[in-house]
Structure 1
Amino acid sequence: MAADIARVFIGFDTKEVVAYHVLAQSIIEHASMPVEMSPIVLSHLEATFTRERNALQSTEFSFSRFLVPYLSGFEGWSLFMDCDMLMRADIAELWALRDESKAVMVVKHDYQPKVDTKFLGQVQTKYEKKNWSSVMLFNNARCRALTPDFVNTATGLQLHQFKWLESDDHIGELPPAWNWLVNEYEHDPAAKNVHFTDGGPYFAEYRNDDYADEWFAMRDRMLHVTQRSA
């Protein structure tokens, strides 16, 4: 019997390289099960992802994230995460929430962003199902509509509002703690995965936000190496 391995895809953006590595470290430190992590890097997908950049997309993986089921061979389950996050709990807890009756599982946020701009002065777009797609637990076989052709040609709202599903009934719900929006929600010590959605603490203007001290501590551990004693 094959081992149960949490397959995780993390968005990678050349404007915030450190974010990917710190999130990966936080997943590793808290995990109690094997984890397989893959960055979604545009230069790795040149033969598959041919979509032109949209002026409103704030990250390099705004749309390529929807290739996760295809990259997984439309088999098993895969987790997608934005890179501007910090895992504070065991990913095995999240993995245990998989519901085979659903095509995808998300935190169903119901909010309007408090600010009009976010990191690097980018526009904070506002739309129905905002931030649902920043953490997605894909039941890959049920997401066969997400072919490269569709991901390359669909509108942004078709993708991020899950119009590729027959109905919203196919969207399962995860507890809010798994995509806790910093600055949008009050500080919660029980948050399991925090999302620096306005901008990570690696940007100067966000370095004092909630959970920033934990992020910097994780960054320091990510850089750790044991030196030989003198």
Structure 2
Amino acid sequence: MEDPAADAAGINNADAEPFKIFIGYDSREDIAYEVCRYSILKRASVPVQITPLKLSDLRNQGLYWRERGKLESTEFSFSRFLTPYLANFHGWALFIDCDFLFLSDIKHLVDLVDDKYAVMCVHHDYTPTEATKMDGVVQTVYPRKNWSSMVLYNCGHPKNKVLSPEVVNTQTGSYLHRFQWLEDDEIGSVPYVWNFLVGHNKVDDKDLKNSFPKAVHYTLGGPWFEDYKDCEFGDLWVKEMEEYKKTLCVN
């Protein structure tokens, strides 16, 4: 069936080149992916093209072959760095984890891009205290934690051409997640409200305009996991999920 949200977002507008969005996909979190996708399409005022980074597809295409390490909490821990390659090293593209809920028009995020940067993201200062997250996976701590969970890639930037399938499949986690192929001044900053970490970032009641999330990131686990069904902003996700499921019943 046709996606009403996609039509509303102008996806079928042949006159506009869609903005490419790659969402990390984990087989344990299919509903999280679907709700994330729906939340983007529902609010988008510009055409977008959304692609799930499914491990099985990438392996079948010969683009991903590295074995999964013990510290990889998701199936897309490393495949996310294929974003510039998958976008043909052209234009800007967005990578996001699947555990996001967008509350604002993606256009407002796209409007922030600055061609002088190779990537742009939220510069979190985040050191989790929990030993586990989601459904019991090990919580890892490293510099620039969560920076790579939402990244605007300037795919045509010369520095990003290093991100070939060979490099993504062989380089270390520190090299990739800390953006070590770049200089510090090549990493642009985005307001934290576009990667609002539940349990870490806080809403300032005196400044809702600048502190209320535009994109909620359930980094420790979202309502689709039993242990996190009552998490902060969980009610917003549940409402979006129920709305998404209603669209499946159309026709």
Which category of TM-score, normalised to the shorter sequence, fits these structures? over 0.9
Unaligned residue ranges in structure 2 (runs of 5+): 1-13
Instruction: Determine whether 1:20 maps to 2:33.
Output: yes
Task: State the match for 1:144 in structure 2.
Answer: 161
Instruction: Determine whether 1:161 maps to 2:174.
Output: no
Instruction: Determine whether 1:87 maps to 2:102.
Output: yes
Higher relative contact order (CA 8 A, sep 6+): 1
Unaligned residue ranges in structure 1 (runs of 5+): none
Structure 1: 4+ residue segments shifted above 3 A: 225-228
Task: State the match for 1:192 in structure 2.
Answer: 214
Once residues 170 and 2 of structure 1 are traced to their aligned partners in structure 2, the CA distance between those partners, rounded to angstroms, is 32
Instruction: Determine whether 1:48 maps to 2:63.
Output: yes
Give me the identity figure in percent.
46
**Aligned residue identity for 1:159:** L
SS at match of 2:23: strand
Q: Output the aligned Cα RMSD.
A: 1.5
- Greater helix fraction, Structure 1 or Structure 2: 2
SS at match of 2:38: helix
Q: Deviations over 1:137-159 (max 9, x none)?
A: 00001210100110010001100
Farther off after superposition, 149-158 or 183-192 = 183-192
- Cα distance, 1:2 vs structure 2: 5.7
- Cα distance, 1:17 vs structure 2: 0.7
TM-score (norm 2): 0.87
- Cα distance, 1:114 vs structure 2: 2.8
Once residues 106 and 113 of structure 1 are traced to their aligned partners in structure 2, the CA distance between those partners, rounded to angstroms, is 19
Aligned partners of 2:126 and 2:146 also within 8 Å: no
Give the direction of change, closer, same or farther, for the CA distance of 1:184–1:103 in structure 2 (3 Å limit): same
Aligned partners of 1:42 and 1:60 also within 8 Å: yes
- Cα distance, 1:186 vs structure 2: 2.3
Once residues 201 and 11 of structure 1 are traced to their aligned partners in structure 2, the CA distance between those partners, rounded to angstroms, is 18
Once residues 123 and 115 of structure 1 are traced to their aligned partners in structure 2, the CA distance between those partners, rounded to angstroms, is 9
Task: State the match for 1:206 in structure 2.
Answer: 228
